[in-house]
Structure 1
Amino acid sequence: MFNAKAYSVASATSPFEPTTIQRRDPTPHDVQIEILFCGICHSDLHAARSEWSGMPTVYPCVPGHEIVGRVTKVGSAVTRFKTGDLAGVGCLVDSDGTCPECQTHHEQFCPSAVFTYNAPDKHTGKVTYGGYSDSVVVDERFVLRVPSNLDLAGAAPLLCAGITTWSPMRRQGVTQGKKVGVVGLGGLGHMGVKFARALGAHTVVFTTSPAKKEDALRLGAHEVVVSRNANEMAKHAGSFDFILDAVSAEHDVNAYLHLLRRDGNLTLVGAPEKPHPISAFGLIFGNKSLSGSLIGGIRETQEMLDFCGEHGITADVEVIPMQKVDEAYERLLKSDVKYRFSIDMASLKAE
């Protein structure tokens, strides 16, 4: 075991404080990574404040599952990484590797999946600690190659926001000639716009805020629709092949089902607290489908990173020092960021 610097919360109401955590020494199959940047995901806030009743937080909690850094040590059996390589770690750090989900490269659905933080850690007997730290040790199977041409601060959110929006687009066959809608222009939505455009689709952003039109076009949208304008919405009725809904607030999903063409799909990646009321007729007439999507498997995440490297895609980020994470959480609650926070772990050296 070795000591690593980190920031943790001691309770649901505590501020973040500097601390020292223990990381395991690399086993033969492990990769040790010096963390350079870690993105802030809204789920970090939920976990830090223990807001998920089904997944109570174990304290102290070190969040962070959008990790990029440089390999500092590899185990004797590691074949895919060497010291000095750029590497990333997303939402998962282990799974059983043998179940049907793992065998089909859907490790995120493995019954024994181990999340990057606040999950049982078989190595320490405690819980896993995330990327708000200067170092992490992860099984080689869950370490990802980060293209060297990408800005690392902007690459960090790809490990969650990126794969969350990429996976349903690939599953629904988004490509040139398709018409794609993105509902909500936030941390997830802005990545959806970039991917849809890069995949060749005609990309339309739906927003409640007219002020976001200019930014949506900058990010790659061909059109922007103010969803509160009934006339603008009506012009697009029955025309979309796929709509990605990235809104976590309560809203009318049926309005978007109406915009799908026959056999079109609407996928939810935002998770409002209250269930959506869905019109059965909105699905039945037109053979339309409504689905959800949870991150992606390791192979698919690597595919996404490689695509980003080829197309120069990263998240739009505001880089902050570790010491300002509490302030970032408060701003996140107000949607006061364009479009993700990325923590510069060099700031930990000052502690």
Structure 2
Amino acid sequence: MSDTMRAAQYNTTSNKIEINEIPIPEPGENDILIKNVCASLCHSDLMLFWGHTAEKPPMEKVTIGHENAGTVAAVGKNVTGFKVGDPVGCLGCSYACYECEGCSVHNLHCVEGTGKLHGFTTHGHFAEYSLSDYRNAMVLPVGMDLTTAAPLFCAGTTAYHSVKKCGLQEGEWIAIIGCGGLGHLAIQYAKALKLRVIGIDISDSQLESAKSLGADLTFNSATNLGYQKEIFTKTGGAHAAVVLSASNIAYRDAPSVLRINGILMVIGIPKENLSVNALDILLGKYRIMGASSGTPQQMREPIEFSHEHDIQAHLTTFNDIGDIQKIIDLMEDGKTAGRFGIAF
């Protein structure tokens, strides 16, 4: 095989993506080398362009992407549990210790300070080959499609835990605010968990997708100015609202669809910091939660659940890595449901 490959890389100087020919990486002692079948783009990857991330690339050019699936091409000397040819996927943060108190919450909190985010502080997966710490990866269930599995290693795990960690009972109401890349998966998980779903978005096409996935009620919050009243009339208020949108307005309005002491689940990352009414929290009008899913301990459950319940991302793929800018433009437009990726 060739010693080089094409990679989609973020240039920290120009604040743009470029396609570069780079060496195929050699696995370190704890690495698996993955021959990628698919890499998909996550909305958080776009934070590079906004300058809205504390995790700054330490190199001039970093290969983007932290969602992927492929097969093992080579292993480092310390690797156990993987062999060449295994179908695999990995989470977004490698090279932590995976054992400390911080790593039990998110590997970026590792006390050793060694955790690195793929696509941000270490190279990601928008290339034919990429590396992952083997402790941050898993072998896929038998028969799982490698292409549609790729988005599950960020979008899927995030959406699953955002719903599951609300702790709702069968038949209770959950509002999915933002029905696109994350939301269309969250709706599927919520229905598989036998919850009743309210889909809220500003895109009619994404709301149509939400209906097709089983959302019990849908509302366009931009055009239906009385949607909160309708929600209370029909449901008594949501027991939880999962905000998967990166909009500050979505967060501002989310508490208005909650019944008393409902849960506001914080997932989407807006450009500006959130503002909350402290008295509302003190008096229990609603509760605020987050659902970190960035640890290997939390990876297997959503992947196996997805396979068992045939939950798949709506994935549009392109076959040339040179199409990465088209994918970025589609995601920034925000009008098309699902995920976008490169199939290698």
2:162 is matched with which residue?
Answer: 168
What is the distance in 2 between the residues matched to 1:67 and 1:53?
Answer: 21
Listed one character per residue, the Cα deviations across residues 243-287 of structure 1 (whole Å, up to 9, x for unaligned) are 101111231535332332343211121122223332334434545
What is the distance in 2 between the residues matched to 1:274 and 1:118?
Answer: 20
Contact 2:197 2:217 in 1 (8 A): yes
Superposition deviation, residue 150 in structure 1:
3.1
Contact 2:44 2:269 in 1 (8 A): no
Q: 1:252 to 1:34 in 2, by over 3 A?
A: closer
Secondary structure class of the residue paired with 1:264: strand
AA paired with 1:115?
L
Superposition deviation, residue 12 in structure 1:
3.0
Q: 1:23 to 1:211 in 2, by over 3 A?
A: closer
1:124 is matched with which residue?
Answer: none
- Give me the TM-score of the superposition, normalised by structure 2: 0.87
Superposition deviation, residue 15 in structure 1:
4.2
Aligned residues: 333
1:221 is matched with which residue?
Answer: 215
What is the distance in 2 between the residues matched to 1:157 and 1:90?
Answer: 10
1:199-278 superposed matches below 5 A: 199-228=193-222, 229-237=224-232, 238-251=236-249, 253-278=251-276
1:302 is matched with which residue?
Answer: 300
1:134-145 superposed matches below 5 A: 134-145=128-139
What is the distance in 2 between the residues matched to 1:53 and 1:311?
Answer: 34
1:82-231 superposed matches below 5 A: 82-102=83-103, 104=104, 106-111=106-111, 112=113, 113-119=115-121, 128-228=122-222, 229-231=224-226
AA paired with 2:331?
L
1:18 is matched with which residue?
Answer: 20
In terms of mean alpha carbon deviation, does 173-182 or 297-306 score higher? 173-182
- Give me the TM-score of the superposition, normalised by structure 1: 0.86
Q: 1:306 to 1:108 in 2, by over 3 A?
A: farther
In terms of mean alpha carbon deviation, does 182-191 or 77-86 score higher? 77-86
Percent pairwise identity: 24
2:331 is matched with which residue?
Answer: 332
What is the distance in 2 between the residues matched to 1:204 and 1:303?
Answer: 25
Structure 2 unaligned runs (5+)? none
Secondary structure class of the residue paired with 2:144: coil
What is the distance in 2 between the residues matched to 1:280 and 1:105?
Answer: 25
Q: 1:155 to 1:98 in 2, by over 3 A?
A: closer
In terms of mean alpha carbon deviation, does 4-13 or 29-38 score higher? 4-13
1:319 is matched with which residue?
Answer: 317
Listed one character per residue, the Cα deviations across residues 305-334 of structure 1 (whole Å, up to 9, x for unaligned) are 011111111210110121100122122211
What is the distance in 1 between the residues matched to 2:271 and 2:76?
Answer: 43
1:125 is matched with which residue?
Answer: none
AA paired with 1:74?
V
Q: 1:7 to 1:235 in 2, by over 3 A?
A: closer
Q: 1:226 to 1:25 in 2, by over 3 A?
A: closer
What is the distance in 2 between the residues matched to 1:15 and 1:30?
Answer: 26
Q: 1:268 to 1:25 in 2, by over 3 A?
A: closer
AA paired with 1:133?
A
Contact 1:154 1:342 in 2 (8 A): no
1:78 is matched with which residue?
Answer: 79
Secondary structure class of the residue paired with 1:61: strand
Superposition deviation, residue 219 in structure 1:
1.9
What is the distance in 1 between the residues matched to 2:282 and 2:267?
Answer: 22
Q: 1:114 to 1:149 in 2, by over 3 A?
A: same
Structure 1 unaligned runs (5+)? 120-127, 346-351
RMSD (Å) for aligned C-alpha atoms: 2.4
Secondary structure class of the residue paired with 2:299: helix
User: Does residue 1:342 correspond to 2:341, yes or no?
Assistant: yes
What is the distance in 2 between the residues matched to 1:22 and 1:213?
Answer: 42
Contact 1:39 1:67 in 2 (8 A): yes
